Amino acid sequence: MSSIEEQITEVEDEIRKTQYNKATSHHIGRLRAKIAVLRLEREKRAASKGGGGLGYAVRKSGHATVGLVGYPSVGKSTLLTKLTGAESEAAAYDFTTVSIIPGMLRYEGASIQILDMPGLIPGASKGRGRGREVLSVVRSTDLILFMVDPEHTDFRALLNELEGAGVRINSRPPKIVVTPGDRGGLLINSTVRLTHLSGGLAVQIAREFGMHNGQIVLREDATADQLIDVLAGNRVYLVAILAVNKTELLTAEERAKLNEKTRGFPTTFISAKTKAGLPELVRAIADALAFVRIYVKPPGGPPDREEPVILRRGDKVEQLLKRLPEDLDLHFKAAMVWGKSARFPGQTVGRTHALEDEDVVTIVVERGARGQ
Ligand SMILES: Nc1nc2c(ncn2[C@@H]2O[C@H](COP(=O)(O)OP(=O)(O)OP(=O)(O)O)[C@@H](O)[C@H]2O)c(=O)[nH]1
Ligand SMILES: [Mg+2]
């Protein structure tokens, strides 16, 4: 065990031993900041070692990428093959899959890349199994599909594992703005009443990160952990859903128990073997990815309703331009929009206008470009 690993374990133990209450909340907040700083250091060292060829090179393709994350043998590879036709070896022993196998799922005009991955086990972020490599691929996906089966039901342990690797699931980035400075000390401001975090603790946490000057503005009632996330800076915020596999093996009673256990998390019960629940799962994946269809209308012509451009909810005109011929982007002057995102039909908007499902868009280019 490296000394940095020992330090992390030490601080983790200290947190475990400390009873959480008002009097100790400061102390615990600082310890959690310490762990975050040590983990950053660990990642930095692992990255600088690099070059060992351990990382997986995965080429992202399609409109979005889904990562299959689950304990060994829950049926990830079987599911990939059933959904996409891609061949990924499935067998009744753990760690059958040792690299990342991509497959492509088509759904209502969208291409969804699904990545089958080696099984994940607790301790992965400390390098157990091929944990670290798997986690780094997970960070680059758009959606995590957790998988459990009747024998491995503790998906919350996997959630914790991802949390430890800086992945935040089904949550938004905290509304905290950190502006480092070089003199004058630390100024903590908030625009709302803080019920979790005192200014004093915020200062101590910032100091753990080596920030001694500058300003921190809290625009929501943030927790110590949320401030730590913003200071650490390398968090990714991902959507995740859950599939319970092998459900054809469950008795009604076991099924009810699992239903209870997964309550509050978007869950689909499936059997990769019998294909039960797969259409529902595909719909859940597409819903979670929040695709929107944009119909492009050439100036003076009808919109192309046959082949919409597929974007994701929240995407802007900017993202649309990236998917159209380059000269439209190069000579972009404005866009005209009809549909849900337009305040009135044919509204003229710029690159930062957010589009919505089934909007019709015309790109207007500068005079002289494209012979106009
Ligand atoms: N009964 C049942 N068995 C299944 C189902 N899906 C997969 N299996 C079996 O479970 C075993 C493991 O399946 P895999 O697809 O290899 O599991 P995996 O999650 O990819 O496993 P690793 O690659 O080792 O992490 C195989 O024997 C599959 O045939 C299912 O829906 N029902
Ligand atoms: Mg597998």
CATH number at residue 114: 3.40.50.300
Ligand 1 pocket test: pick from 69, 71, 73 the residue with the most ligand atoms within 8 Å of its Cβ: 73
Confidence of residue 222 (pLDDT cuts 50, 70, 90): very high
Q: Is the CB of 272 under 6 A from ligand 1?
A: yes
Q: In this structure, which ligand is nearest to the CA of 78?
A: 1
Residue 2 has pLDDT above 90, yes or no: no
Q: In the prediction, which pLDDT does 369 show?
A: 62
**249 in contact with ligand 1, CB cutoff 6 A:** yes
Residue 264 sits in the same domain as residue 245: yes
Whichever domain contains 365, its CATH number is 3.10.20.30
Which of 289, 321, 355 represents a domain boundary (last residue)?
A: 289
Q: Is 127 a residue whose pLDDT tops 70?
A: no
pTM: 0.86
Produce one character per residue of 200-231: b if its CB has 16 or more CB atoms within 10 Å, e if not: ebbbbbbebbebeebebebeeebbbbbbbbbb
What per-residue confidence (pLDDT) applies to 50? 55
Residues 261 and 343 in one domain: no
Residues 104, 154 within the same domain: yes
Bigger pLDDT: 25 vs 342: 342
Average pLDDT of every residue of the chain: 91
- Give ion ligand 2 contacts, CB < 5 A: 76-77, 96-97
The answer on 157 and 78 residing in a single domain is yes
Query: Is residue 126 exposed (0-12), middle (13-18) or buried (19+ Cβ within 10 Å)?
Result: middle
Same domain for 164 and 117:
yes
Residue 154 and residue 75 share a domain: yes
Question: Into how many domains does the chain fold?
Answer: 3
Query: Are the C-beta atoms of 175 and 222 separated by less than 8 Å?
Result: yes
Nearest to 142 by CA among 208, 204, 76, 61: 61
Query: How much is the pLDDT for 52?
Result: 42
E-strand stretches of 128-227: 143-148, 167-169, 176-180, 186-190, 214-218
- What pLDDT, on the 0 to 100 scale, is given for residue 53? 42
Last residue of a domain, one of 232, 249, 266: 232
Residues whose CB falls within 8 Å of the CB of residue 121, separated by 6 or more in sequence, listed in order? 71, 72, 128, 129, 131
**134 and 240 fall within a common domain:** yes
How far is residue 298's CA from residue 364's CA, in Å, rounded to a whole number?
9
In a shared domain, residues 244 and 164: yes
Q: 91 CA to middle of ligand 1, Å?
A: 6
Residue 126 has pLDDT above 50, yes or no: yes
Residue 56 lies in a domain: no
The answer to whether residue 36 scores a pLDDT higher than 80 is yes
Residue nearest to atom 7 of ligand 1 (CA): 75
Q: Are residues 279 and 354 in the same domain?
A: no
pLDDT of residue 51: 45
Is residue 205 domain-resident?
A: yes
> pLDDT digit string (tens) for 242-278?
999 999 999 999 999 999 999 999 999 999 999 999 9
Q: With respect to residue 55, please indicate whether it lies within any of the assigned structural domains.
A: no
Which pLDDT score is estimated for 54?
46
Tell me which of 369 and 179 has the higher pLDDT. Answer: 179
**pLDDT at residue number 134:** 85
**Residue count of the chain:** 372
- Of 191-205, 273-287, 342-356, the one with minimum mean pLDDT is 191-205
361, part of any domain? yes
What integer pLDDT is reported at residue 332 of this predicted model? 96
pLDDT of 1 strictly over 60: no
Query: Does residue 248 share a domain with residue 148?
Result: yes
In a domain, residue 296? The reply is yes
Does residue 103 have a pLDDT over 60? yes
Asked whether residue 57 is assigned to any structural domain, the reply reads no
Closest by CA to 154, choosing from 95, 222, 71, 97, is 71
For residue 95 and ligand 1, the question of a CB distance below 6 A is answered with yes
67 lines ligand 1 (CB under 6 A): no
Tell me the residue range of the domain where 86 lies. 64-171+236-289
In short, whether 78's Cβ falls inside 6 Å of ligand 1 is yes
Tens of pLDDT, residue by residue over 147-202, are 999 999 999 999 998 998 899 999 999 999 999 999 999 999 999 999 989 889 99
**Burial status of residue 355 (CB atoms within 10 A of its CB: 0-12, 13-18, 19 or more):** buried
pLDDT digits (tens, 9 = 90+) for 45-73: 877 765 444 456 778 899 999 999 999 99
| Contact yes or no for 330/322 (Cβ under 8 A) | no
Q: Which of 71, 74, 89 to mutate to test the pocket of ligand 1 (most atoms within 8 A of CB)?
A: 74
109, 246: one domain: yes
Question: Do 80 and 163 belong to one domain?
Answer: yes
Distance in angstroms (rounded) separating the CA atoms of residues 97 and 88: 8
Q: Is residue 128 part of a domain?
A: yes
Which residue in the block uniquely carries the two structure tokens 């969208």?
A: 110
Which region among 27-36, 86-95, 110-119 has the lowest average model confidence (pLDDT)?
86-95
Q: Which of 244, 261, 289 lies at the terminal end of a domain, its last residue?
A: 289
3-state helix/strand/coil string of 268-314? EECCCCCCCCHHHHHHHHHHHHCEEEEEECCCCCCCCCCCCEEEECC
The verdict on residue 180 lying in a domain is yes
- The model's pLDDT over 300-342, given as tens digits with 9 standing for 90+, comes to 899 988 889 999 999 999 999 999 999 999 999 999 999 999 9
